[in-house]
Chains A and B, each alone.
Chain A
């Protein structure tokens, strides 16, 4: 009798477990059979009424049933849980290809980006940044830099003047003078900034940017300058470049060089440099028998054109958003 009951109970319970469609229903089944007042628990209590010799066997059977049910419930629970998750996942799926919810990000001007890149490299090379005025006097822009009045080299600089004789600096070399006037060597500085020349066509804008380097020390030679420039250019362009130094002329350096990098078949000029002219050092009261120095001047706009593949200088100053937005 008890045995039949046991078998029916097992069958019923198994059926109920199978048909339970939710975790809640399954839990109800568990409580119904295995809870404190559940059927299996009740049966355990009935053991007391059975003859003493059958009790161990009965107990064993009931425990077996209990274990079977526990396993079945656990199995079903796992099944229900995973299908619940699966359902939830389907319901909650979104179109992740929609654009992200974000503010528009602005941009730094390509000339600024190139300046940052250059300054980072030069800072590692020990150069400090210093700036100077854009409206300058003739002395700092020309005379102090060994470009006396009536010197043909002044033709290289179409200068903007003001009525009082002051001018818009034509190069950042002015800052060399201002620094050397106030600071004793050793000097290792760079100076970025806007410069101006009275010239406007498709390859010239009346305003552009330069970055000037200056080093004055007891042991400064052309071999150092060459190593510095080669390292800088390779770092800046992130590749090992073919670099060419060729003689040139600047009134404030001697010897002077222009530096080209190879692009395709041809060479592109990237900067000018040289050993600081003794007259320049003398003008600021530096003893040329003790100190020597080198200086480098580069056009940042030109560098940005090369770096980003920009083909027209004038784009830099039109500030067309369709241009600026490209440099995120």
Chain B
């Protein structure tokens, strides 16, 4: 809600309250001030003038010499370059000595041989608009010689407050004035207008078919208005300061009353209505051409204002073009109604139309206001446009008009909720100043809020009102001692902050990517998964819920690659979405992406590109640092996005925790990648189950003996298989088996490879002697020879 400060001050005048204090008060009342702008910057000595004569400049094609009446004895001669300078228009004139906002000081000056006694100003030169559009043309009734600032009431501020959805009553000058009056504990200065005595008895029938949608409909006929009148400048300016364009005097007046009192109204051209005004739900497929020229096909739930022939307006939202007032209109049917907020909201949602009117009706308009606003608008129309008003007609349903509740306010609840007490007399004072009726009872009060405060329904609402006027600044602070450990903390889970830290320590940067991806990415990375798509995505690129973190990471990688990053490590922890037997699953995953060299550019080590084992090492470190059992890596059941020869499923306890591997060459082609890209993804919940409880294990005090041996085995024998065989060799002294070299090539035949392992023998009871270790080694090698196809390397 934007409004003129001067207008507000007409309603609640506190001369000592500066603009700054006023805006502070509004903010602290919950009417947050978003902006407070001067209507016009400072300038002096600008008067209203009239161009009496405009002739071609003798020495310049583009200049005119104007004779201007600024209310002084003599006409002023002013040279002007604006194309719209012409005789007969009223303009702002800066006289010699004037200072304009851009710092220009106006002096008498010779312009190509003609002396100019001032300047005719454009709106831009006066700082009123940003774009230049010739000199400013004023209304023909602008008084010549009047100070231009006085004429347009430019010594004013435009204050913009954001009104929360519960405070529909503050979408008007009156509503905001009430708040200011309450906090300053003074009264309102309401404009005086008396109910009008009807000048004729002509009425127009009103039929309300749906009282539930429209509990109160008031209207009146006004005839013989003067269609040639212009909206007065003061009203235009106030509308403008509220962001409302001046359209037609009648429309301007209804808008003015809406801004002033909060009652949206509509004026129909009476001559375009047939038989009666009918408030009803729309018929199926009924058409309505709106004010803005758009045609809508009406939904049967929609409330319309119709006559006997057709719909004329979307009730409470927007009028129709057929019966709108225009330059020929001389008879009006003026509408002022109370609509059910839900009915209006339905229309807003169905047609996507947000108007000043619907905004107010949706939030709720004072149900007691319709006739008052009708009288106010009539008064303005008659005083500005003439005309004869008929009697007020009103159809009301007491059944559906909301009745303010009677709310019990218990004195002890105030302290319980707020933590401090407010004295009784202050409670009474605060609530009364907000227009509430109080009745003292034993426990406290019975409070009835005014009809415009439909947001006040329960005791807490009243307590909020009290503390609002008490001032949030004055609420004391009280510290508490508190603890709570609840059942959700009993289940063990991995420390995800630590997981993040481990990944960061290993060189990965944490990314946060959108949870929705494009359908295309889904097809590329998870075509086997059902798509979960948004009904109203922001764009097609963000339409499908991710079932994996990989699309986001790969997209992020591409983004960075396009910005000359050739070494990328990224990880993300986030929820992924999938469906299993129609059940929605929301699983948290941790995923990583790596490509490029093992080290960033550096001087000391031989650099190389990363490979599968680097990324596998990162995962193993992650498990180890988080205190999880070490998983195994099995090249089975791989997702199709991974390279089948360079990928593994991460398995623990028979369960697949996730995958690691190189991106499939297929997808590399699709994404136009040349360098291999490594990915991993793990299910966080499954990792939780993998947490191991550390128990101290005594270690041997006796020295260990290491023996190295190189085995020639079949090339396709995996380390996992070999390790499993070795594990079958039970021996109390063999404590560790470490792999330290793999060799393929001459002189070993091409279907074989050499695997070098280090065996450590150690006893917990004694120092092992040479002979014992030798015997152990022999047993071990004999065992291996029996179980696998192998020879010793020389």
Contact = CB atoms under 8 A, between A and B. Distances in A.
Interface in B444-491: 458-461, 463-464, 467-468, 472-473, 475-480, 482-489
A255 B599 CA distance: 56
B508 A223 contact: no
B600 interface: yes
B569 A106 contact: yes
B32 interface: yes
Interface stretch (A5-13, A37-45, A96-104): A96-104
A104 B507 contact: yes
A317 B482 contact: no
A322 B564 CA distance: 11
Interface in B542-581: 542, 545, 556, 559-560, 563, 565, 567-571, 574-575, 577
B27 to A, nearest CB: 6
B454 to A, nearest CB: 12
B345 interface: yes
B167 interface: yes
B604 A245 contact: no
Nearest to B461: A254
Contact of B28 (A160, A246, A275, A320): A246
Contacts of B480: 219, 224, 227-228
B165 interface: yes
Contacts of A279: 458
Contact of A255 (B460, B473, B584): B460
Given A130-B488, A134-B575, A248-B32, A222 B417 contact: yes
Contacts of B506: 103, 106
B792 interface: no
A106 B509 contact: yes
Interface in B358-389: 362-363
Interface stretch (B137-145, B227-235, B531-539): B531-539
A221 interface: yes
A166 to B, nearest CB: 8
Interface string B58-96: 000000000000000000000000000000000000000
Contact of A230 (B477, B484, B542): B477
Interface residues of A, number: 83
Interface stretch (B46-54, B103-111, B510-518, B696-704): B510-518
Given A133-B586, A150-B342, A325 B509 contact: yes
Interface in A53-106: 98-99, 101, 103-106
**Interface majority SS (helix, strand, loop, mixed), chain B:** mixed
B764 to A, nearest CB: 37
A160 B32 contact: no
Residue from the set B168, B415, B533, B602 with the largest chain A CB neighbour count within 10 Å:
B602
Interface stretch (B187-195, B495-503, B742-750, B766-774): B495-503
A187 interface: yes
Contacts of B501: 108
Nearest to A100: B604
B165 A320 contact: no
A143 to B, nearest CB: 15
B511 A319 contact: yes
B32 A318 contact: no
A321 B560 contact: yes
B418 interface: yes
Contacts of A219: 480
B351 interface: no
B162 to A, nearest CB: 10
Contacts of B604: 98-99, 101
Given A153-B165, A162-B533, A187 B556 contact: no
A321 B574 contact: no
Interface string B300-327: 0000000000000000000000000000
B486 A222 contact: no
Given A223-B478, A249-B30, A320 B514 contact: no
Contact of B534 (A162, A199, A321): A162
B694 interface: no
A107 B510 contact: yes
A116 B248 CA distance: 59
A181 interface: no
Interface in A124-149: 125-128, 130, 133-135
B595 interface: no
B650 interface: no
Nearest to A215: B482
Nearest to A288: B460
A103 B507 CA distance: 7
Given A183-B486, A198-B538, A107 B504 contact: yes
12 contacts: A104-B507, A106-B571, A109-B511, A109-B512, A128-B486, A133-B575, A150-B345, A162-B532, A221-B417, A223-B420, A249-B165, A278-B459
Given A108-B504, A228-B479, A249-B164, 19 more contacts: A133-B575, A135-B577, A161-B534, A166-B584, A183-B488, A194-B574, A198-B538, A224-B419, A227-B477, A244-B473, A246-B27, A247-B467, A277-B460, A278-B458, A279-B458, A316-B512, A317-B513, A319-B512, A320-B563
Interface of B: 27-30, 32, 164-168, 341-342, 345-346, 362-363, 415-420, 458-461, 463-464, 467-468, 472-473, 475-480, 482-489, 497, 500-501, 503-516, 532-538, 542, 545, 556, 559-560, 563, 565, 567-571, 574-575, 577, 584, 586, 599-600, 602-605
Interface of A: 98-99, 101, 103-109, 111-112, 116, 125-128, 130, 133-135, 150-153, 155-156, 160-163, 166, 168, 179, 183, 186-189, 194, 196, 198-200, 206-207, 215, 217, 219, 221-224, 226-228, 230-231, 244-249, 254-258, 275, 277-279, 292, 316-322, 324-325
4 nearest CB pairs, A to B: A221-B419, A223-B419, A247-B30, A249-B164
